[in-house]
C-alpha cells in the first residue's frame, strides 16, 4: 500500500506525521501487519503569542488539522490554534545533486584555476528528509476561539468557525476573509447559543452546516445571500421528556459534525450519543447510537468535575458503513450501521500487545458485574479519547489518547 500519513498535535504543539515503518527483507506481503510506526516528521506549527491589546496569551495549542487533497508530490495541511490558521507544505527530499563544477561537496567555491574538466551533476539518493514550510498565514480574523476549519470541495476556499462567527477564506489570499455567519447578538447579555462545529458539504461547494450548543444543526447555502444568517434547513430533534434533567441542555450541545463521504448523511456527536441525519429529513435523526448511556445517571458528578464539557469527535469509515467515536477510560466505540452491532475497544499499551487482536470491552452499568466487565465507578475519567480518525480508503484508524497516538488496522490474513 502507499504512503499513509496521519497528523496529530501533541500538547507541545508539534505536528507529527506517521509513516508506515519500512519492512526489511521479511514477508513483503505482510507489510501492513508489523504494527509499529515510525515518526515521519515533527514540526512546530504555532508558537505561543501575546495579544498586547487585550493582555491575553494565545496558546500554541492546535485545535484542528485538515489535510488538503493531494495535487502533486507535496502534501498540504491546514492547522489552527485559537486565533490563527496556517497552511503548511510538507515535502520530501530523498535525492540530492552531486558533482557540481564550481562548488565542492560542502558548498565552498572551488578555485577556478583548479577546474580542468566539466561534468554533469547527478542525483544520488540520500536519507529521507521531510521539510515542512509555512505557506500561508491567515490571521486576525477571529475575535473568539476557532473551533473548526473545513476545506471546500472546490479546493480553493475553506471556512473557519469560532464561537460566534464563520469566515470564508481563499487559500491564496491571507489578508481578507468573508464573514458568512454571525450569530453575535447586539447585546451580549442576550447570548444563549454558540457555534460548536462547522463543515463544508463534500460535494456541493455552496453548502455547509454548523452545529450549536443547543443541539441544532443549520444547513446554509452560500448562493442564497452573502451573509448566511438564515438557514436553509434546521435539524433538531425534539427532546425526550422522560430524559429531562438539569443538564439536558448541556449534554445536547453538539461537539462534532461530519458529513458522510457520500454527502447524503451527516453525523453529530453530543455528550452521550452519536446521531446520523438524512439531509432530507430535518425533524429527527435516522439513527441514534448510545455511546455511554451509563453516564446518564452520573451527570451531576461529571458536571462538577467539568467532564460534561468534553468535546468528543466522531468519524466515518471510507464506505460510510461504520462510525467511530471516543469515550472515557481510553475506550472507543464503533457502530456498524448495517448490522447494528457495536463494539467497545481500548487503546492502551498495558492491555494490548502489538500484533494482537484487540479484545472487546464491556462496561457494567449496574447490578452484578460479570467477569471482564468494568464497572462505571472504576472508569478513569482522565483518560479520554477525544480525537479519532479513519483512513478514507483502508481499514486503518488512528486513536489519540492524552499522550499517545494509536494506529490500528484490520488483521491481514
* Out of 29, 55, 114, 366, the residue judged to bind other proteins by CB under 8 A: 55
Told to check if 348 binds other proteins by CB under 8 A, we report no
* Out of 291, 323, 379, 397, the residue judged to bind other proteins by CB under 8 A: 379
- In the complex, what is the shortest distance from the CB of residue 163 to other proteins, in angstroms, rounded to a whole number? 5
Residues 179, 227 contacting (CB under 8 angstroms): yes
Told to check if 374 binds other proteins by CB under 8 A, we report no
Q: With helix as H, strand as E and coil as C, how does 163-189 read?
A: CCEEEEEECCEEEEEEEEEECCCCCHH
- In the complex, what is the shortest distance from the CB of residue 7 to other proteins, in angstroms, rounded to a whole number? 25
Which residues 298-317 are close enough to bind other proteins by CB under 8 A?
Answer: 298-305, 309
Report d(CA 336, CA 346) in Å as an integer.
Answer: 17
Told to check if 183 binds other proteins by CB under 8 A, we report no
Report d(CA 108, CA 212) in Å as an integer.
Answer: 60
Report d(CA 218, CA 413) in Å as an integer.
Answer: 44
**Strand duo 373-375 + 362-364: pairing:** parallel
Told to check if 54 binds other proteins by CB under 8 A, we report yes
Told to check if 3 binds other proteins by CB under 8 A, we report no
Which residues 206-225 are close enough to bind other proteins by CB under 8 A?
Answer: 213
Half-sphere exposure (Cβ direction) of 90: Cα atoms closer than 13 Å: 25
Told to check if 56 binds other proteins by CB under 8 A, we report yes
Nearest CA among 295, 339, 297, 333 for reference residue 313: 333
Q: Which long-range contacts (CB under 8 A, 24 or more apart) does 269-278 make?
A: 269/312, 269/313, 269/314, 269/325, 270/215, 271/295, 271/308, 271/310, 271/312, 272/296, 274/314, 274/323, 274/325, 274/335, 275/237, 276/323, 276/337, 277/217, 277/235
- In the complex, what is the shortest distance from the CB of residue 253 to other proteins, in angstroms, rounded to a whole number? 6
Instruction: Pull the grid cell for residue 278.
Output: 438524512
Told to check if 194 binds other proteins by CB under 8 A, we report yes
CA distances from residue 239 to 157, 245, 249, 252 in whole angstroms, order as listed = 36, 11, 10, 9
Which residues 223-282 are close enough to bind other proteins by CB under 8 A?
Answer: 246-247, 249-250, 253
Told to check if 377 binds other proteins by CB under 8 A, we report yes
Q: Judged by CB under 8 A, which stretch of 94-102, 112-120, 127-135, 373-381 contacts other proteins? A: 373-381
* Out of 24, 106, 111, 190, the residue judged to bind other proteins by CB under 8 A: 190
Residue (82 or 199) nearer to other proteins, CB: 82
- In the complex, what is the shortest distance from the CB of residue 168 to other proteins, in angstroms, rounded to a whole number? 18
DSSP-assigned beta bridge partners for residue 165:
182
Told to check if 293 binds other proteins by CB under 8 A, we report no
- In the complex, what is the shortest distance from the CB of residue 353 to other proteins, in angstroms, rounded to a whole number? 23
Instruction: Pull the grid cell for residue 172.
Output: 491564496
Report d(CA 246, CA 6) in Å as an integer.
Answer: 40
Residue (21 or 300) nearer to other proteins, CB: 300
Helix (H, G, I), strand (E, B) or coil at 104: coil
* Out of 21, 39, 128, 191, the residue judged to bind other proteins by CB under 8 A: 191
Residue (39 or 300) nearer to other proteins, CB: 300
Nearest CA among 86, 42, 91, 47 for reference residue 65: 86
Instruction: Pull the grid cell for residue 315.
Output: 468519524
Which residues 75-104 are close enough to bind other proteins by CB under 8 A?
Answer: none
How big is the chain, counted in residues? 413
Residue (100 or 309) nearer to other proteins, CB: 309
- In the complex, what is the shortest distance from the CB of residue 227 to other proteins, in angstroms, rounded to a whole number? 12
Told to check if 388 binds other proteins by CB under 8 A, we report no
- In the complex, what is the shortest distance from the CB of residue 185 to other proteins, in angstroms, rounded to a whole number? 9
- In the complex, what is the shortest distance from the CB of residue 246 to other proteins, in angstroms, rounded to a whole number? 5
- In the complex, what is the shortest distance from the CB of residue 257 to other proteins, in angstroms, rounded to a whole number? 15
DSSP-assigned beta bridge partners for residue 332:
326, 345
Told to check if 29 binds other proteins by CB under 8 A, we report no
- In the complex, what is the shortest distance from the CB of residue 303 to other proteins, in angstroms, rounded to a whole number? 7
Residue (74 or 386) nearer to other proteins, CB: 386
Site residues for other proteins per CB under 8 A? 53-57, 143-145, 163-164, 182, 184, 186-194, 196, 213, 246-247, 249-250, 253, 297-305, 309, 328, 376-382
Amino acid at each position: 500500500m502507499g504512503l499513509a500519513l496521519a497528523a496529530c498535535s501533541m500538547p507541545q504543539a508539534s505536528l507529527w506525521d506517521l509513516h508506515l515503518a519500512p519492512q526489511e527483507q521479511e514477508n513483503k506481503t505482510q507489510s501492513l501487519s508489523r504494527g509499529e510506526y515510525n515518526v515521519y516528521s515533527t514540526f512546530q506549527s504555532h508558537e505561543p503569542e501575546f495579544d498586547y491589546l487585550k493582555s491575553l496569551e494565545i496558546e500554541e495549542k492546535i485545535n484542528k488539522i485538515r489535510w488538503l487533497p493531494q495535487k502533486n508530490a507535496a502534501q498540504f495541511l491546514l492547522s489552527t490554534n485559537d486565533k490563527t490558521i496556517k497552511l503548511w507544505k510538507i515535502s520530501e527530499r530523498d535525492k540530492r545533486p552531486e558533482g557540481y563544477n564550481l562548488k565542492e561537496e560542502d558548498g565552498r567555491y572551488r578555485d577556478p584555476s583548479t577546474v580542468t574538466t566539466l561534468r554533469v551533476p547527478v542525483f544520488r539518493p540520500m536519507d529521507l528528509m521531510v521539510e515542512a514550510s509555512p505557506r500561508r498565514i491567515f490571521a486576525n480574523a477571529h475575535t473568539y476561539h476557532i473551533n473548526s476549519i473545513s476545506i471546500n470541495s472546490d479546493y480553493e476556499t475553506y471556512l473557519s468557525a469560532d464561537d460566534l462567527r464563520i469566515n470564508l477564506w481563499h487559500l491564496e489570499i491571507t489578508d481578507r476573509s468573508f464573514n458568512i455567519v454571525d450569530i453575535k447578538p447586539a447585546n451580549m447579555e442576550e447570548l444563549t447559543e454558540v457555534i460548536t462545529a462547522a463543515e463544508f458539504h463534500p460535494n456541493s461547494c455552496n453548502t455547509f452546516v454548523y452545529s450549536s450548543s443547543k443541539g441544532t444543526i443549520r444547513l446554509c447555502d452560500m448562493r442564497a445571500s452573502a451573509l448566511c444568517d438564515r438557514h436553509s434547513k434546521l435539524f433538531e430533534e425534539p427532546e425526550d421528556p422522560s430524559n429531562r434533567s438539569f443538564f439536558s441542555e448541556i449534554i445536547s450541545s453538539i461537539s462534532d459534525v461530519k458529513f458522510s463521504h457520500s454527502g447524503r448523511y451527516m453525523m453529530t456527536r453530543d455528550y452521550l450519543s452519536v446521531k446520523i441525519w438524512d439531509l432530507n429529513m430535518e425533524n429527527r435523526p435516522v439513527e441514534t447510537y448510545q455511546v455511554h448511556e451509563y453516564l446518564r445517571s452520573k451527570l451531576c458528578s461529571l458536571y462538577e468535575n467539568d467532564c460534561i464539557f468534553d468535546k468528543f469527535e466522531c468519524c466515518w469509515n471510507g464506505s460510510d458503513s461504520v462510525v467511530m467515536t471516543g469515550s472515557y477510560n481510553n475506550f472507543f466505540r464503533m457502530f456498524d450501521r448495517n448490522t447494528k452491532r457495536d463494539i467497545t475497544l481500548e487503546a492502551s499499551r498495558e492491555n494490548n500487545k502489538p500484533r494482537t487482536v484487540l479484545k472487546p470491552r464491556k462496561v457494567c452499568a449496574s447490578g452484578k458485574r460479570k467477569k471482564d466487565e468494568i464497572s462505571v465507578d472504576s472508569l478513569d475519567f482522565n483518560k479520554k479519547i477525544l480525537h479519532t480518525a479513519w483512513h478514507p480508503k483502508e481499514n486503518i484508524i488512528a486513536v489519540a489518547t492524552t499522550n499517545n497516538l494509536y494506529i490500528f488496522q484490520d488483521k491481514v490474513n
